[in-house]
Amino acid sequence: MISLPRALYIHIPWCIRKCPYCDFNSHEQANPDFAGYGRALVRDLNADLERYGSIPFVSLFFGGGTPSLFPPQYLEPLFQRLRDLDLISDHTEITLEANPGTLDRGHLSGYRNLGINRLSIGVQSFNEEVLKELGRIHDKDQAVAMIEHAKAIGFDRLNVDLMHGTPGQTPLIAQEDLNIIRNLEVSHLSWYQLTIEPNTAFYSKPPTLPEEDSLEVTEEMGSEIINAMGLEHYEVSAFAKSGEEARHNLNYWEFGDYLGIGAGAHGKITTERGVVRTQRTRQPSNYLSRTNFHATEHPLSDGHLGAECLMNGLRLKSGISYACFQERTGLDPIEFRAAHLIEADRLQLLNPGRFQASELGWRHLNRILEMLI
Ligand SMILES: C[S@@+](CC[C@H](N)C(=O)[O-])C[C@H]1O[C@@H](n2cnc3c(N)ncnc32)[C@H](O)[C@@H]1O
Ligand code: SF4
């Protein structure tokens, strides 16, 4: 059986305050049981390794929630276990999501000592009014301070998350946000357009959003500024210096395997029984009280497999090769293409043997994706 590259996602489910746009599995809780959670993660990992085998991870990603709330010492048992089993090395990309409102907790050096070598900082905007509209717990100065401090202590692989199309944002504000990023010289930028998700405060009480025209101006101007920073637009919302692409996310987009541990975490694994998705219980209290960590498994049918692989691969500007599609789904790409009536003008074969969206198709990717489902 083919063994695909495999990553590990670790979910940390707590936040100081829930943001009104956020539908991630994140919970406000005073004094979470970090020590107990750190031990539970080791038991959870062990259960997955027993079921799916131990092969080294290409990357680790601590996502949230707010992983930067987590005291580094309680992650030591997890790192110890991963090192004992040779599942990570000094070359493994290990990312942790950090919220600038947690800088005062002084955890960053501890993360570096553990072997975490990349930070993804959730800034969203540097504009004080926009930050208030987004319910963020930090201001501009804290965001700049976290980026500068992270660089000063040796995190040279840094991603910053910014959002556009948010309440209160004008093209000028978006431009100012990007100019601050240019001066801070980060190697990776995720520039997301705000989406209003069900089960969020913004969904129940919609805010006033910028008009379509203003969004278009922002997008065009934004692409130019980001280009001028020397960051390449390699995925719908991701920009990086050459060689600084997020390896963990590339593994998702190229439909590699990943184990997902922690409350509410998802995994995707290729097994002898086919490709399965796994999901952990979402509530941190349920997760912490578990004695059996075997995740719920859902098999993926052939139709879903092909569509999911393509939906991920097309997010990349370079698309996904037929060879990769075939390896990761077991399906014939030519037959798949014919069966799904994929329009040739939207999916160009710029390089023979690849599924790749045209420039126009890429900008309207959601419409292409709708045709697949
Ligand atoms: C799980 S959050 C983690 C970062 C960290 N918790 C924080 O907010 O600082 C990952 C990123 O997704 C983006 N995001 C979350 N909800 C979004 C939404 N509804 N629309 C667009 N981007 C969103 C934000 O940029 C956020 O930083
Ligand atoms: S801090 Fe991040 S994960 Fe937490 S609620 Fe806000 S956006 Fe969501």
Nearest Cα residue to 68 out of 143, 7, 166: 143
Mean pLDDT value of segment 138-149: 97
Q: Is the CB of 197 under 6 A from ligand 1?
A: yes
Q: Which of 107-121, 336-350, 357-371 has the highest mean pLDDT?
A: 107-121
Which of 10, 15, 16, 97 has most ligand 1 atoms within 8 Å of CB, for mutation?
Answer: 97
**Joined tokens for residue 186:** 């980060």
> What's the pLDDT band for 74 if we cut at 50, 70, 90?
very high
Asked if residue 306 lies in contact with residue 336, where contact means CB atoms within 8 angstroms, the answer is yes
Q: Is the CB of 64 under 6 A from ligand 2?
A: yes
Say yes or no to pLDDT of 352 above 80.
Answer: no
Q: Is the CB of 21 under 6 A from ligand 1?
A: yes
Q: Is the CB of 20 under 6 A from ligand 1?
A: no
Please give the CATH number for the structural domain made up of 6-251: 3.80.30.20
Across 192-226, b (16+ Cβ under 10 Å) vs e yields eebeeeeebebeeeeeebbeeeebebbbeebeebb
Residue 269 CA, distance from chain mean position: 18
| Whole-number average pLDDT of the chain | 93
Q: What totals of helices (H) and strands (E) does the chain contain, helices first?
A: 15, 17
The rounded distance, in Å, linking the Cα atoms of 119 and 326 is: 33
Q: Is the CB of 68 under 6 A from ligand 2?
A: no
Res 373: pLDDT: 58
Asked if residue 320 lies in contact with residue 255, where contact means CB atoms within 8 angstroms, the answer is yes
Indicate which residue's Cα is closest to atom 25 of ligand 1: 161
Res 357: pLDDT: 84
Res 41: pLDDT: 98
Mean pLDDT value of segment 166-185: 97
> What is the tens place of the pLDDT at every residue in 177-202?
999 999 999 999 999 999 999 999 99
Q: Is the CB of 15 under 6 A from ligand 2?
A: yes
Q: State which ligand 2 atom lies nearest to the alpha carbon of 17.
A: 5
The rounded distance, in Å, linking the Cα atoms of 312 and 59 is: 18
Query: Residue 148: what are its φ and ψ, rounded to 5°?
Result: -65, -40
- Nearest 5 degrees, angle CA 166-CA 169-CA 170? 135
Res 350: pLDDT: 56
Strands (E), the chain: 6-12, 14-15, 27-28, 59-64, 93-98, 118-124, 158-164, 188-193, 232-235, 238-240, 257-261, 266-271, 274-279, 296-299, 320-321, 347-348, 354-357
> What's the pLDDT band for 293 if we cut at 50, 70, 90?
confident
CATH architecture of 301-373: Orthogonal Bundle (1.10)
Res 97: pLDDT: 98
CA distances from 113 to 40, 75, 76, 242, 326 (A): 22, 11, 10, 26, 40
Q: Is the CB of 320 under 6 A from ligand 1?
A: no
The rounded distance, in Å, linking the Cα atoms of 30 and 14 is: 9
Say yes or no to pLDDT of 136 above 80.
Answer: yes
Res 359: pLDDT: 81
Using a pLDDT cut of 70, give the percent of the chain over it.
94
Say yes or no to pLDDT of 220 above 80.
Answer: yes
Cis peptide before 65 (omega within 30 of 0): yes
Nearest Cα residue to 169 out of 122, 218, 227: 218
> What is the tens place of the pLDDT at every residue in 244-291?
999 999 999 999 999 999 999 999 999 988 999 999 999 999 999 988
Say yes or no to pLDDT of 344 above 80.
Answer: no
Say yes or no to pLDDT of 345 above 80.
Answer: no
Structural domain spans, the chain: 6-251, 301-373
